[in-house]
Amino acid sequence: MTYREKIQELSKKVESIYDDAEWLRDVATLEEKKYWNEVRRIFYDADQPLRKLDNSLSQSRAGMVL
């Protein structure tokens, strides 16, 4: 596995949690929705640095085998 592949794998995990929280928010009560929105915001924000890192990598760095 390469460095880029590992970063992208982690990003997909974070996105999956974000997506699951959306579904749960949709079935939540009005009171609960605010918490699910907070969870979604946290995971959206957590994925931002991973995408930026992935986009910033040189080909040699991205291809580094772990």
pLDDT tens-place values along the chain, 66 residues long: 999 999 999 999 999 999 999 999 999 999 999 999 999 999 999 999 999 999 999 999 999 999
Strands (E) located in 1-66: none
Distances (CA, A) of 61 to 12, 17, 32, 49, 57: 20, 27, 43, 17, 6
pTM of the model: 0.89
Give the pLDDT confidence score for residue 64 in this predicted structure.
98
Distances (CA, A) of 30 to 21, 23, 33: 15, 14, 5
Give the pLDDT confidence score for residue 30 in this predicted structure.
97
